[in-house]
Amino acid sequence: MFQALDISGSGMYVHQNWMDAISDNIANVNTVRPSNEKAFQARYVVAQSVENGGVGSGVRVAGVELGDSEGRLVYDPEHPYADAEGYVRQPDIDLGDQMTQMIMAERGYQANTANLDRVRAAYQAAIQMGRG
């Protein structure tokens, strides 16, 4: 029963990190830099299963991959960061994709919390049976 709590907790941790990375990407979707600098790099959380003698025992954050630093050049001659030709650099982040990812991360987090509630209820029922 305690292993089930650990598994749900590890899943919640990974989904929280995933949502944090996505929200950071969304917050910087319109970040502008001069054309000679690198664009904001999107963050992508890499999850990995945790094995315990061939039996799955949760998940962990294996790392964070960074997106393309090249970004995209946007013509905006009025922007203070514009170069001589009028271009600025913006990240190559697809807002629609990020919102889809956010929904998936949110649903995964909700599924883990629901599982945690079920395990807690089963544990409480077992305690009640032991009492009387």
Q: Domain extents for the chain?
A: 2-131
Is 36's pLDDT higher than 90?
yes
The pLDDT value recorded for residue 98 is: 97
Q: Hey, what amino acid is at 125?
A: A
Residue 120 buriedness (CB in 10 A; 0-12 / 13-18 / 19+): middle
pTM for the predicted model, two decimal places: 0.84
The pLDDT value recorded for residue 53 is: 66
- CA-based end-to-end distance of the chain: 21
What dihedral do alpha carbons 75, 80, 81, 84 form, nearest 10°? 60
Is 128's pLDDT higher than 90?
no
CA–CA separation, 79 and 33 (whole Å): 10
In 3D, which of 91, 108, 90, 92 has the Cα closest to residue 100?
108
What dihedral do alpha carbons 41, 96, 83, 67 form, nearest 10°? 20
CA–CA separation, 62 and 66 (whole Å): 13
pLDDT digits (tens, 9 = 90+) for 43-80: 999 999 988 766 668 899 999 999 999 999 999 999 99
pLDDT digits (tens, 9 = 90+) for 67-119: 999 999 999 999 999 999 999 999 999 999 999 999 999 999 999 999 989 98
